[in-house]
């Protein structure tokens, strides 16, 4: 079990977080953490967010209805 310190909104400050027992088979990569201060569970993003469609081209509407 690894501890890490994260900011907790509920506690209003940085608290040590611990990984809860994981029943989903995530193992050490479980994205869930429990605040040891208030017991709130948080999800940490262990994956990289891809830029959401920033390049979404806005075509000038040509009178077509979007499906």
Query: Which range in 33-41, 43-51, 52-60 contacts Zn ion by CB under 5 A?
Result: 33-41
Contact 18, 34 (CB under 8 A): yes
Question: Binding residues for Zn ion, how many (CB under 5 A)?
Answer: 12
Select 22 or 44, whichever has its Cβ closest to Zn ion: 22
* Using rule CB under 5 A, residue 26 touches Zn ion: yes
| Interacting residue ranges for Zn ion, rule: CB under 5 A | 8, 10-11, 15, 22, 24, 26, 30, 35, 37-38, 40
């Amino acid at each position: 079990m690894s501890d890490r310190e994260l900011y907790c909104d509920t506690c209003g400050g940085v608290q040590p977080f611990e990984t809860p027992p994981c029943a989903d088979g995530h193992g050490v990569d479980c994205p869930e953490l429990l605040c040891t201060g208030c017991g709130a569970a948080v999800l940490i993003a262990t994956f990289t967010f891809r830029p959401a469609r920033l390049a979404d081209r806005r075509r000038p509407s040509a009178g077509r209805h979007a499906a």
